[in-house]
Structure formats: C-alpha cells, structure tokens
Amino acid sequence: MKTAVIYWSGTGNTEAMANAVAEGMGTEAVSVSDFGSSVAELDALALGCPAMGDEVLEESEFEPFFSGIENDLSGKKVFLFGSYGWGDGEWMRSWEEKVKNAGAELVNGEGFIVNDAPSDDDLAKLKEIGISIAG
C-alpha cells in the first residue's frame, strides 16, 4: 500500500501530529512544500493543516495544494488532522465535507483536532490511527 503524510505547520503543533501519524504508518511526514510525488498513485494519505485566520486552511501553500489534489482523492482513504487556537473546529468540518464530496473514504468518519499543542495522549492516538491506516 502506498501512503503519505503531508502537512503544513506554523508553530510545530501540526508537525508533531504529522510525525505521530507517520510513525504509525511506517513512513516519514513531509511538509506540503517538500511533497514532490503525485497523490494519484497513493492508496491512502494523511493530511494535516491547522486552522488559520477565520477558521480556514493555510492559504498560501496548503489550500492551493489541497485544491490541486481534490480531484485525485476519489476512492482513497484520507485522514485529516490539525490544531487550532480559537473557534470551534469549523475549518475541519468544511475540510471533511470537501474530502467526502471528492469521493474519498474519510478515516474514522471525521478529522482529528487538538486545541493548541497535542498532548502525549493525542500523539499516542494519532500513532494508533496511523497503524490502522497502514494495516
């Protein structure tokens, strides 16, 4: 199974989450700016992005990347994760809807969000989710 963990992180919180998922999946997390492969060839992927501004995906790198791969998500297992510092998770609900509308299978039926920094318990859960995705 071909998998990838692709993320954008401003403070390191989402990067820590990405590394936990990647550890479980048996791969390395890669920042969106360093991702050089095609999503079309993947079976499953984990995407991480924090809430930015008015609860939206990061707009200069991640949102354009996501818009560019949206049509390639059909039939794939997709796990979404990210951190936020305010709001109620609206950015994740909107993102989940986009992934479902693209025809992907949303792992666990919803994204995984944490307020500010992930706890050790959060990181352990993310690693378990990574294991289940790769399994």
State how far the alpha carbon of 7 is from the alpha carbons of 29, 34, 103, 122, in Å. Answer: 7, 10, 21, 17
The mean pLDDT of 69-79, rounded to a whole number, is 96
pLDDT at 43: 95
pLDDT of 135: 79
**H helices then E strands: how many in the chain?**
4, 6
pLDDT on residue 49: 98
pLDDT band at 8 (very low <50, low <70, confident <90, very high): very high
- Sorted by sequence, the CB contacts under 8 Å of residue 120 that are 6+ apart come out as none
In the prediction, which pLDDT does 18 show? 98
Mean pLDDT over 91-113 rounds to 96
At 37 the pLDDT is 86
Q: Which of 13, 7, 57, 9 is nearest to 27 (CA)?
A: 7
Is pLDDT above 90 for 54?
Answer: no
Average pLDDT over residues 46-65: 95
What's the mean pLDDT in 58-85?
A: 96
Query: Could you give the percent of the chain with pLDDT greater than 70?
Result: 100
